[in-house]
A and B are shown apart, each in its own frame.
Chain A
């Protein structure tokens, strides 16, 4: 297999983009990624999109986006793994390049979520859970993560304050991200007194409904120097795993086993362990998710994720900064785009080009993107080449 480099990244401002369509949002991101390189022609394009059908009534995403990107006849397709669709698009793009099938591939992600009502968005997102055995009986996504939260709190003593610390930290990080949907501070009290959604999770424990896209361009490492002037970033570890789609069918609901399995695979490929990671972008769709995921990735022992965020170990300047971009919580969560936006942030940090968000000595970054209540996980490790 060929070594793969990320040579271009693009991400426009996220938010409630009422004056932009699904295709507008995606093409804007893709053009930014292309402009970050010397590439003018792609060999392939893979787009993560959870549900163009339910959010805007549009499927067949590959063809429409290739056309509007001005690359008619380009080999292009959409891949789907719920909220991990973006991560899956990145993996598939790497496979295209590593295998020699293609040289220059764009991996993108997009979701246009505000063309439907709140109820419509709830309905579309719920399609990532077990429709007949969770959703039918009244489960919602905040509800499923609330079930995990209570179990985690009762097993390990994780506190309401510790959940709130995740939101406070990520919103603080988001204030430095010009592309974030909600780049403002929140306080512990604001989080703890915000509207109850699914006990113990409140609205400020939840990631928002967002329109947005992101795109990255990958190519073989030996071609990278000719196709970009930016510092080179190499993909060194990949992992992917699934689990039972229904939360109640998992062995242990206080951990995300798919994340543990995918991380092991990625660490083994990169020849690294959790202690070698300088910073990470993880899937904080809810505050409890970040705590559980930092444990499942091996950054902290089971039950220690809550105390770690409270002690500032995952903040800027902490032992392992998590979600310097603001995470899903502050940056927004256009579901199909999230996995690609994580790669965007990792590449920016590794290039030393993350502006106000830049940390020192960013050499090895990890992205963890998951779907549903954790039944799919993609993990990628990227390093300065």
Chain B
């Protein structure tokens, strides 16, 4: 993973920054240049809530090589109260306890290691509500 490519996404991944359309209020992650709902081009930066609902999930048994040390793992799509949906791992939970519609929270976690020499990558994962 090249540092510039990684660094560009840090505001979204580290701080859950989102961009809210100043005209219609639609919220986006990642940022975009034009709103797909109203066509406006001005946005304000907001921070997403860290409480989400699980929309759907799977258990990945055959991951990409950089995730092999974590396999099997749960991967889910969650919806934020602001309307944004994101895909991430669901961790610290028994697979049998996963249920669509359940409440989860978002935590800052290590996502992957880019080989022995590469940088550690961080971002968000979904975990049970404490």
Question: What is A's interface to B at a CB cutoff of 8 Å?
Answer: 119, 122-123, 126, 132-140, 142-143, 146-151, 154, 195-201, 246-249, 253
Main secondary structure of the interface of A (DSSP, over half): helix
Question: What is B's interface to A at a CB cutoff of 8 Å?
Answer: 5, 9, 29-30, 55-65, 67, 70, 73, 75-77, 85-89, 100, 111-112, 121, 123-125
- CB pair A138–B60 under 8 Å, yes or no, is yes
Q: How far is the CA of A284 from the CA of B73 in the complex (A)?
A: 25
Q: Which residues of A contact B62 (CB under 8 A)?
A: 122, 140, 142, 197-198
Q: Which residues of B contact A119 (CB under 8 A)?
A: 64-65
Closest B-chain residue to A125, C-beta based? B64
Closest 7 CB pairs of A and B: A146-B58, A199-B59, A248-B85, A151-B56, A119-B65, A137-B88, A248-B77
Other-chain residue from B55, B65, B75 in contact with A143 (beta carbon distance below 8 A): B75
Q: Which residues of B contact A150 (CB under 8 A)?
A: 56-58, 100
- CB pair B58–A198 under 8 Å, yes or no, is yes
Other-chain residue from B55, B60, B111 in contact with A198 (beta carbon distance below 8 A): B60
Contact flag A147-B75 (CB < 8 Å), given A132-B30, A198-B58:
yes
Q: Which residues of A contact B121 (CB under 8 A)?
A: 136
Contact flag A132-B9 (CB < 8 Å), given A126-B64, A138-B75, A248-B85:
yes
Contact flag A143-B56 (CB < 8 Å), given A133-B87, A137-B87:
no
Q: Which residues of B contact A198 (CB under 8 A)?
A: 58-62, 75
- CB pair B64–A122 under 8 Å, yes or no, is yes
Q: How far is the CA of A310 from the CA of B75 in the complex (A)?
A: 29
Interface centre among A133, A136, A147, A199 (most CB of B within 10 A): A136
Q: How far is the CA of A246 from the CA of B5 in the complex (A)?
A: 18
Q: Which residues of A contact B59 (CB under 8 A)?
A: 196, 198-199
Q: How far is the CA of A154 from the CA of B87 in the complex (A)?
A: 19
**Minimum C-beta distance from A203 to chain B (A):** 8
Q: Which residues of B contact A138 (CB under 8 A)?
A: 60, 63-64, 67, 70, 73, 75, 88-89, 111-112
